[in-house]
């Protein structure tokens, strides 16, 4: 299985502010796994407070990416091999996300007969060309009517879902 990784600097739509810092950008590590003709992609943001940087995550992936092996469905074995190495949780999380994406891309949905890779081809592309999924913060402003976005509330929290991301057209 081929493992590729790169550092991507993402400009934030709004300045991220917490008590100890503020940021207008975030460096993340993107991972692409290729198994045959199928690709899976993952992304993770290293946390400096835990001694991780995008550079250290990239170095980990370059050094230990081969531990993924040749079977993307052998998650327990992959997890055990990666778990023997301390630290670099962001790199491991990006690999894990890419493995799960690869598994989904390799499978067809039995209920619709539509493959995940065909659905992914219609997902919007992000600034770096990768397929994106929409994640919205809890309790954002109400979306415009007719935008194809719905909301639901439970126990004071609001979840927002874009109906466009759930479509699968054969």
pTM summary value: 0.63
For the chain, domains (ranges, CATH) are 2-121 (3.30.390.10), 134-170 (no CATH)
Look-up: residue for tokens 């592309």? 125
d(CA 161, CA 15): 24
Phi, psi values for residue 154, rounded to 5°: -155, 125
What are the residue ranges in the chain where pLDDT is below 50? Answer: 108-140, 153-170
Give the pLDDT score at 93: 94
Give the pLDDT score at 145: 62
Tens digits of residue pLDDT in 57-98: 999 999 999 999 999 999 999 999 999 999 999 999 999 999
SS3 110: coil
Give the pLDDT score at 17: 93
């Amino acid at each position: 299985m081929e493992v590729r990784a790169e550092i991507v600097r993402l400009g934030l739509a709004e300045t991220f502010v917490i008590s100890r810092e503020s940021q207008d950008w975030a460096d993340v590590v993107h991972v692409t796994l290729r198994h045959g003709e199928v690709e899976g992609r993952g992304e993770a943001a290293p946390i400096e407070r835990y001694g991780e940087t995008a550079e250290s995550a990239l170095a980990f992936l370059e050094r230990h990416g081969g531990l993924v092996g040749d079977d993307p469905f052998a998650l327990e074995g992959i997890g055990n091999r990666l778990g023997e190495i301390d630290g670099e949780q962001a790199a491991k999380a990006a690999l894990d996300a890419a493995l799960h994406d690869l598994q989904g891309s390799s499978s067809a949905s039995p209920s619709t007969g539509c493959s995940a890779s065909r659905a992914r081809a219609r997902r919007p592309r992000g600034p770096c060309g990768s397929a994106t999924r929409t994640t919205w913060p809890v309790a954002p402003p109400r979306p415009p009517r007719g935008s194809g976005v719905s909301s639901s509330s439970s126990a004071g929290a609001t979840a927002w879902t874009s109906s466009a991301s759930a479509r699968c057209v054969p």
